[in-house]
Amino acid sequence: MTASKKPLIEMKNIEKHFGSVIALAGVSVDVYPGECHCLLGDNGAGKSTFIKTMSGVHKPTKGEIFFEGKPLNFERPRDAIRAGIATVYQDLAMIPLMSVSRNFFMGNEPERKVGPFSFFDHEKANEVTMSEMKKMGINLRGPDQAVGTLSGGERQTVAIARAVHFGAKVLILDEPTSALGVRQTSNVLATVDKVRKQGIAVVFITHNVRHAMAVGDTFTVLNRGKTLGTAKRGEITPEELQELMAGGQELATLEGSLGGTV
């Protein structure tokens, strides 16, 4: 559950416009350390725009973002990564034919010096990769195993373990279970639980209520760029969450205005 009373990220009345299209229309969300905050919504709800704004890909048109209590103004996504906000996208940005350890350290290669020359430190990379994956419950055949031979759930775990190892304070997961089978999904959800227990804030983007309910502490529903509400675990049932996502509120309003004839 929530490990701190102070939010790590505060997004206040965030708007994002693309020309005349309003993708986000005043979204406010607080994310706490050690919490899994599930952001739910169907396609077109604004989830992708929201995470890209949180992670520095988009600058908000209006509104403020605070990180660790200070106003945040990322110029580029790398600024967000440096601050400790890591995003694991659905495509995972991995090279299937390369080894797990090479993918794990891509862009952050450990080096060893031999005289004036620097070389990729295979030994260190392999050792760290095996250790970090084991912590997440994945026993690789070896660090040289090609990423392409891993299951979808294992690849997700590599990406999550990589982000955690390189200092993520906030981990944004973009639909991490959408293309996975039941067993792989349960492995990824177990990984999310491990990460949260390390005090890292997890923002879990999904349209699957069951997956959200399995790991979530807080649930926010997005619909057409607006938040329909935020609830803590125990304050909302899976059925109520599903109804909110399906636009149950809009239907109820419509029923009222038509005198219950819908």
Tens of pLDDT along 61-102?
A: 999 999 998 888 777 778 888 889 999 987 777 888 889 998
Contact 230, 201 (CB under 8 A): no
Extended strands (E) in the chain: 9-18, 21-31, 36-40, 62-67, 70-71, 85-88, 111-114, 117-120, 170-174, 201-206, 218-223, 226-232
Contact 16, 23 (CB under 8 A): yes
Query: pLDDT tens for residues 196-240?
Result: 999 999 999 998 999 999 999 999 998 888 888 889 999 988 888
pLDDT of residue 213: 93
Distance between CA atoms of 210 and 218, rounded to whole angstroms?
A: 14
Residue-range domains of the chain with CATH: 9-93+168-257 (3.40.50.300)
Distance between CA atoms of 227 and 27, rounded to whole angstroms?
A: 6
User: Which residue has 């693309």 as its token pair?
Assistant: 18
* pTM for this entry: 0.84
